[in-house]
Amino acid sequence: MLLRHIRYLKAVADLGSFTRAAQTLHVSQPALSQQIKELEERLGAQLLDRSGRQVRPTDLGSAYLERVHRALNELEEGGRAIRDVEDLSAGSLRLGITPTVAAYLIGPVSRRFRASYPNIKLSILVSSHEEIEPALIDDRLDLGIGFGDLLSEDIEGILLHVERLALIVSAKRSSVRKTVVTAAEAASTPLALLDSSFSIRRTVERYFRHEDLRPQIAVEANSISTLLELVRMTDLATILPENVGGASLSTIKMNPAFEPRRAALLRRRNAYCSAAARAFIATTQRVAAEFAEG
């Protein structure tokens, strides 16, 4: 049995078509079909259901592909281990990061990392925590930065710092001039908030429900940069991590405070950790420690 047979089978199962799989793999469809037929004969099992319009794995095929997927991930890790350059003169790193953490952490970390390791290529995916964990498990990412409340036992987290939410307003246009506001005062201020696809929005909603308050939500958006621009140019306020605030913005604490969120580095448990990944972890920890000191 050759690795080629397994890759061909996986391509057909993923794409649901011999034709599309052959085009993707740059082989002829008859050759592809013959290779998979040989694999089925060697295993003594029908792996694909060819009776419908879309080709699907049989029950036996699904069980086989589940284990094959793990094996392919291990092989890919082995290839990266060989290619990994321990002196960090070359290499790559695939990083997933949640949007709110990216807004204040990815800039300082990337600046520090590139200053030390300019030849390491970074591929950054900004996504939700719920999407980062499966990508780590499937070996589509090397590291993630999200929150310490892990969803899967296959993921381990390295605590970075405690993220605290605050009310952010325009330093010039907002009527709020206090350094601390109550929950009622925040609820009575017109707010521009991230939409419900963000975990931070759900945290804000729980906070106001607990205080038995209904906030004035004037704008919803799926972009942190859009919210900050709205706040700079209007009397609207937003609620984001206090580290997000910048020029022309004022950060105001809230009383009672929001429950702190634990930002963490994420990686697949027992996964191969390249030299680039180890260097990135160390750099991120140093930058996060400076946040805590500040």
pTM of the model: 0.68
Q: Which two tokens stand for residue 76?
A: 């890919």
Q: Within this chain, do residues 277 and 142 fall inside the same structural domain, yes or no?
A: yes
Predicted confidence at residue 133, as pLDDT, reads 92
The reply to whether 76 and 107 lie within a common domain is no
Residue 129's pLDDT is 87
Question: For position 153, what pLDDT does the model report?
Answer: 86
pLDDT at 83: 64
Of 83, 106, 127, which residue constitutes the final position of a domain? 83
Please give the Cα distance from 136 to 140 (Å, whole number).
6
The whole-number pLDDT of residue 89 equals 75
CATH of the domain at 247: 3.40.190.290
pLDDT of residue 201: 92
Question: What does the pLDDT look like over 227-255, one tens digit per residue?
Answer: 999 999 999 999 999 888 777 899 999 99
Q: How far is it, in rounded angstroms, from Cα 8 to Cα 12?
A: 6
Q: Is residue 253 part of a domain?
A: yes
Domain assignment of residue 222, yes or no: yes
Low-confidence ranges of the chain (pLDDT < 50): none
Q: What pLDDT was estimated at residue 176?
A: 80
Identify the domain containing residue 106 by its residue range.
93-162+271-293
Please indicate, yes or no, whether residues 73 and 98 belong to a single structural domain of this protein. Answer: no
pLDDT for 106 equals: 93
For residue 154, which of 134, 172, 174 has the smallest C-alpha distance?
134
In this structure, are 120 and 141 located in the same domain?
Answer: yes
Q: What is the CATH number of the domain that holds 38?
A: 1.10.10.10
Domain boundary residue, one of 38, 53, 83: 83
Helix, strand or coil, per DSSP, at residue 85: coil
Q: Which two tokens stand for residue 260?
A: 């702190």
